[in-house]
């Protein structure tokens, strides 16, 4: 690697970038109607004052500073400001419920907290234990906090002022600050990220400067990212992906990070900024596509025809073009026209006009969705990563894009598949360990530095990694056939009408699933087909909706029957849930992953019905409404039987 080895911590990198790219934009924030911008040198000034202010408040090396809030510049500054003092930032999911947050804060021994606004401050103050632990709370937005007791509450600007006063009163202050930064070492703890485990308590993943730095630098090199990139920071701060994209790569590449005005305006803000480098979980791409489809259905005839015609052109040759293969003259010409009439405008609407490379990760993305974006000329790629690896394990190199694999090992990453089919890796990005949890660390990481991913997968003939499912989730049906629930669920979720699916089958006779309809797509479909309904529940139980779902499930069964190891896992029975799976009810995690065991317990009656010969089942569930009240919801849910295909039969007909 060709970078300066003296730049082994992020504060050092900040000083370096502020020197090299002093007048280039470093950060933007949509606030008060325009993109307020900071250059790198301005950014350094802000962070220095802030950092010194924090020091005045008593932040010292080794202290943990919790961060609660959304993607705001001042929160990103907190990372560097805290690290410059040798302390450790601990970003927390702002949306997590109070008990969860309190656990993280107390577990991390947070002595300071930086909050975005009154809501977060209130949440913190309401925690008896964590609140005692935390000595000072710094907040970004003053609104509503004016009348609070300010003995340990500080407005961000006051802290900065403290720092500025220090700078002007004490001529040595700046040098002392720089000296402290110079003393930092790459193997020191850089950040602690709590994983939102699907089971059990969150674990604090400790990453060193070296971890994050090597992952960031390698990622920059891999996709040739420079200081000219613009990215939109909109994913949770506490998530490792955001930390690498909006902090690690930001400082190492020196590019510009843009913070949206609010979570509601992300789409508009993305269109305005038109990021050159973009990251989103598959869900975002799915929603975007659903949106496009729904809106195109409202279009006039001509536009619909234009769209479908040129989308067929794109699906014929778009991906090949992007992969650098030559396509016929006619298609090439048609694609050029389509680019002017449809693809270009679509990219424009999605804010992907300037996109150099986009990544999706976290979960499998539907092959159709993936191809859709690529055929539009958007260089969307997949990667596979984990918090414990500082994200990167595998990624798809340009020109080697397959919808069903997650790519080749990233630079400096070694990959292995163990005898159970579980994927193992080793890299410089591998984490230091779990905070205060030696046991878990030992379970995950062996002495030689190999880390278990917990995912089952294999390396295909191209050398690409293909992930099947969570290793522990891959189960067996009673007849010995393999049962990969995620795999089935993901296939189902690739239908725009299906929002969520939960498959059951481990140690049971056959596969059965819960389905959740996608309200946006299905209600739109219902409107077009004159299907009246008064509620989500009514829509979900509508016979026409069931018919549509049957078609989808049938399609999945055909697909499964055609795959070598999956034919036995075809879906025999399914039902459509009467309520939307919801994080507020604990059915999903905060990152919106399905909590399988919780659901199994909660909907026990429905599962039993699926494995009986009942055609319907009554169920009552407790729900939490938006305003926090609790209530009950009951319904009689229909169950449908599906046709099972034999492998040979289908081969003949196909």
Partner 1 sequence: MFYRQAGDFKTTYRGDIQTFPLRQDRIAYYLMLAFAFLVVPFVINDYWASAVLIPFLILAIASLGLNILTGYCGLVSLGTGGFMAVGAYACYKLMTAFPDLNMMIVVLLAGFITAAVGLLFGIPSLRIKGFYLAVATLAAQFFLVWLFNKVPWFYNYSASGQINAPERTMLGFEVTGANAEPAVSYLFCLTILTVLALIARNLTRGRIGRSWMAIRDMDIAAEIIGVNPLKTKLSAFAVSSFYIGVAGALFFSVYLGAVEVGEVFGINQSFLILFMIIIGGLGSIFGSFAGAAFMVLMPVLLKNIMVGGLGWPTDIAAHIEFMVVGGLIVIFLIVEPHGLAQLWRVAKEKLLLWPFPH
Partner 2 sequence: MGARAAAQSIDQGAELLRVDDISLSFGGVKALTDVSFDVLRGEVRAIIGPNGAGKSSMLNVINGFYHPQQGEVWFAGSQRRNPKPHNIAHQGIARTFQNIALFNGMSTLDNIMTGRFTHMKQNMLMQAFWRGPAEREEVQNREKVEEIIDFLEIQAIRKTPVGRLPYGLQKRVELGRALAAEPILLLLDEPMAGMNVEEKEDMSRFILDVKDEFGTTITLIEHDMGVVMDISDRVVVLDYGRKIGDGTPDEVRNDQAVIDAYLGVAHD
What residues pair up with 383 in beta bridges, in sequence order? 395
Phi, psi of 27 (to 5 degrees): -150, 145
Among 197, 345, 367, 463, binds partner 1 (CB under 8 A): 345
32 binds partner 2 (CB under 8 A): yes
**Residue number with CB closer to partner 2 (62 or 144):** 144
How far is Cα 249 from Cα 242, in angstroms, rounded to an integer? 10
Among 99, 149, 264, 479, binds partner 2 (CB under 8 A): 264
138-157 binders of partner 2 (CB under 8 A): 143-144, 146-147
Which of 231, 190, 170 shows the shortest CA–CA distance to 13? 190
Among 1, 299, 333, 337, binds partner 1 (CB under 8 A): 299
**Residue number with CB closer to partner 1 (110 or 342):** 342
Token readout for 292 is 């496009």
DSSP state of 487: H
Window of 88-96, 348-356, 430-438, 483-491 that interacts with partner 1 by CB under 8 A: 348-356
How far is Cα 600 from Cα 332, in angstroms, rounded to an integer? 51
Binding-site partner at residue 147 among partner 2, partner 1, none, CB < 5 to 8 Å by type: partner 2
356 binds partner 1 (CB under 8 A): no
628 binds partner 2 (CB under 8 A): no
**Residue number with CB closer to partner 2 (262 or 336):** 262
303 binds partner 1 (CB under 8 A): yes
261 binds partner 2 (CB under 8 A): yes
The owner of tokens 């005839």 is 301
8 Å CB contact between 506 and 491: no
How far is Cα 225 from Cα 214, in angstroms, rounded to an integer? 14
Q: How many CA atoms lie within 13 A of 210 on its CB side?
A: 10
421 binds partner 1 (CB under 8 A): no
352 binds partner 1 (CB under 8 A): yes
Contact code string over 29-68 relative to partner 1, x by CB under 8 A = ----xxxxx-------------------------------
8 Å CB contact between 170 and 164: no
Among 5, 23, 33, 302, binds partner 2 (CB under 8 A): 33
DSSP state of 343: I
Which of 368, 359, 352, 364 shows the shortest CA–CA distance to 395? 359
Binding-site partner at residue 264 among partner 1, partner 2, none, CB < 5 to 8 Å by type: partner 2
How far is Cα 316 from Cα 37, in angstroms, rounded to an integer? 42
**Residue number with CB closer to partner 2 (109 or 119):** 119
121 binds partner 1 (CB under 8 A): no
How far is Cα 243 from Cα 250, in angstroms, rounded to an integer? 9
Q: Minimum Å distance from CB 267 to partner 2? A: 11
Which of 153, 110, 101, 103 shows the shortest CA–CA distance to 133? 110
Q: Minimum Å distance from CB 153 to partner 2? A: 16
Among 161, 265, 293, 562, binds partner 2 (CB under 8 A): 265
Q: Minimum Å distance from CB 315 to partner 1? A: 16
Q: How many CA atoms lie within 13 A of 125 on its CB side?
A: 18
Which of 379, 362, 435 shows the shortest CA–CA distance to 370? 379
SS (H, E, C) 489-539: HHHHHCCCCEEEEEEECCCCCCEEEEEEECHHHHHHHHHHCCCCCCCHHHH
Window of 334-342, 357-365, 511-519, 638-646 that interacts with partner 1 by CB under 8 A: 334-342
520 binds partner 1 (CB under 8 A): no
8 Å CB contact between 255 and 230: yes
94, with CB counted inside 10 A (0-12, 13-18, 19+), is: buried
353 binds partner 1 (CB under 8 A): yes
The owner of tokens 């725009």 is 496
9 CB-near residues (< 8 Å, 6+ apart): 83, 181, 184, 185, 186, 188, 190, 209, 213
How far is Cα 313 from Cα 332, in angstroms, rounded to an integer? 9
**Residue number with CB closer to partner 1 (24 or 271):** 271
Binding-site partner at residue 207 among partner 1, partner 2, none, CB < 5 to 8 Å by type: none
Q: Minimum Å distance from CB 141 to partner 2? A: 9
Contact code string over 242-271 relative to partner 1, x by CB under 8 A = -----------------------------x
> What is the C-alpha R_g of the chain?
26
Binding-site partner at residue 299 among partner 1, partner 2, none, CB < 5 to 8 Å by type: partner 1
Binding-site partner at residue 348 among partner 2, partner 1, none, CB < 5 to 8 Å by type: partner 1
Contact code string over 78-117 relative to partner 2, x by CB under 8 A = ----------------------------------------
Binding-site partner at residue 592 among partner 2, partner 1, none, CB < 5 to 8 Å by type: none
How far is Cα 590 from Cα 284, in angstroms, rounded to an integer? 15
Q: Minimum Å distance from CB 261 to partner 1? A: 12
Which of 569, 457, 468 shows the shortest CA–CA distance to 512? 569
Window of 289-297, 447-455, 514-522, 615-623 that interacts with partner 1 by CB under 8 A: 289-297
Binding-site partner at residue 146 among partner 1, partner 2, none, CB < 5 to 8 Å by type: partner 2
Binding-site partner at residue 412 among partner 2, partner 1, none, CB < 5 to 8 Å by type: none
31 binds partner 2 (CB under 8 A): yes
| Terminal Cα-to-Cα distance of the chain (whole angstroms) | 51
Among 157, 198, 344, 633, binds partner 1 (CB under 8 A): 344
8 Å CB contact between 448 and 482: no
**Residue number with CB closer to partner 2 (73 or 184):** 73
Cβ atoms within 10 Å, residue 10: 27
Which residues lie near partner 1 (CB under 8 A)?
Answer: 28, 33-37, 271-274, 292, 295-296, 298-300, 303, 306-307, 340-342, 344-354
Which residues lie near partner 2 (CB under 8 A)?
Answer: 31-33, 143-144, 146-147, 261-262, 264-265
């Amino acid at each position: 690697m060709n970078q300066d080895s003296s730049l082994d911590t992020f504060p050092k990198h900040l000083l370096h970038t502020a020197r090299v790219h002093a007048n280039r934009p470093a950060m933007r924030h949509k606030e008060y109607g325009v993109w307020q911008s900071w250059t790198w040198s301005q950014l350094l000034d802000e962070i220095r004052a802030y950092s010194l202010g924090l020091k005045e408040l008593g932040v010292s090396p080794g202290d943990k500073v919790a961060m609660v809030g959304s993607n705001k510049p001042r929160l990103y500054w907190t990372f560097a400001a805290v690290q410059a003092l040798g302390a450790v930032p601990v970003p927390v999911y702002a949306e997590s419920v109070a008990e969860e947050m309190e656990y993280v804060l107390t577990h991390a021994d947070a002595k300071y907290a930086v909050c975005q606004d009154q809501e977060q401050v209130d949440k913190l103050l309401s925690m008896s234990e964590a609140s005692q632990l935390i000595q000072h709370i710094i907040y970004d937005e003053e609104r509503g906090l004016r009348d609070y007791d300010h003995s340990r509450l500080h407005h961000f600007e006051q802290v900065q002022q403290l720092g500025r006063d220090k700078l002007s009163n004490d001529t040595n202050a700046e040098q002392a600050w720089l000296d402290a930064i110079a003393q930092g070492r790459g193997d020191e703890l850089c950040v602690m990220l709590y994983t939102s485990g699907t089971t059990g308590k969150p674990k604090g993943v400790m990453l060193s400067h070296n971890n994050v730095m090597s992952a960031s630098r390698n990622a920059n090199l891999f996709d040739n990212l420079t200081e000219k990139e613009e990215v939109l920071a909109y994913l949770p701060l506490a998530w490792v992906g955001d930390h690498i994209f909006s902090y690690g790569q930001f400082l190492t590449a020196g590019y510009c990070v843009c913070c949206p005005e609010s979570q509601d305006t992300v789409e508009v803000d993305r269109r305005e900024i038109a990021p050159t480098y973009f990251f989103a979980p598959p869900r975002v791409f799915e929603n975007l596509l659903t949106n496009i489809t729904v809106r195109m259905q409202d279009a006039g005839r001509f536009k619909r025809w234009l769209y479908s015609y040129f989308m067929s052109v794109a699906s014929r040759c778009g991906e090949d073009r992007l992969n650098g293969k030559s396509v016929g003259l006619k298609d090439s010409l048609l694609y050029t026209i389509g680019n002017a009439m449809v693809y270009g405008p679509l990219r424009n609407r999605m804010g992907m006009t300037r996109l150099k490379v986009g990544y999706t990760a976290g979960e499998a993305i539907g092959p159709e969705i993936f191809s859709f974006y690529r055929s539009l000329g958007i260089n969307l790629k997949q990667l596979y990563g984990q918090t414990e690896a500082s994200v990167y394990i595998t990624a798809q190199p340009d020109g080697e894009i397959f919808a069903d694999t997650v790519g080749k090992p990233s630079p400096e990453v070694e990959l292995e598949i163990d005898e159970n089919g579980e994927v193992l890796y080793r890299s410089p990005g591998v984490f230091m360990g779990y905070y205060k949890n030696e046991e878990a660390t030992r379970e995950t990481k062996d002495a030689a530095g190999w880390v278990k991913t917990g995912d089952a997968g294999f390396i295909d003939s191209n050398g690409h990694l293909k992930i099947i499912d969570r290793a522990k989730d891959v189960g067996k049906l009673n007849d010995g056939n393999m049962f990969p629930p995620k795999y089935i669920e993901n296939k189902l979720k690739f239908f725009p009408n299906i929002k969520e699916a939960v498959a059951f089958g481990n140690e049971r006779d056959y596969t059965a699933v819960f389905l959740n309809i996608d309200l946006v797509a299905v209600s739109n479909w219902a409107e077009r087909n004159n299907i009246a309904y008064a509620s989500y529940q009514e829509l979900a139980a509508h016979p026409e909706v069931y018919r549509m779902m049957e078609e989808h499930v049938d399609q999945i069964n055909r697909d499964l029957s055609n795959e070598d190891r999956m034919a036995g896992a075809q879906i025999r029975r399914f039902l459509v849930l009467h309520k939307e799976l919801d994080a507020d009810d604990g059915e999903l995690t905060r990152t919106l992953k399905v909590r399988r065991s919780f659901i199994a317990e909660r909907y026990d009656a429905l599962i039993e019905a699926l494995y009986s010969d009942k055609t319907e089942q009554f169920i009552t569930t407790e729900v939490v409404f938006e305003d926090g009240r609790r209530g009950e919801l009951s319904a009689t849910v229909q169950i449908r039987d599906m046709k099972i295909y034999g492998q040979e039969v289908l081969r003949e007909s196909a």
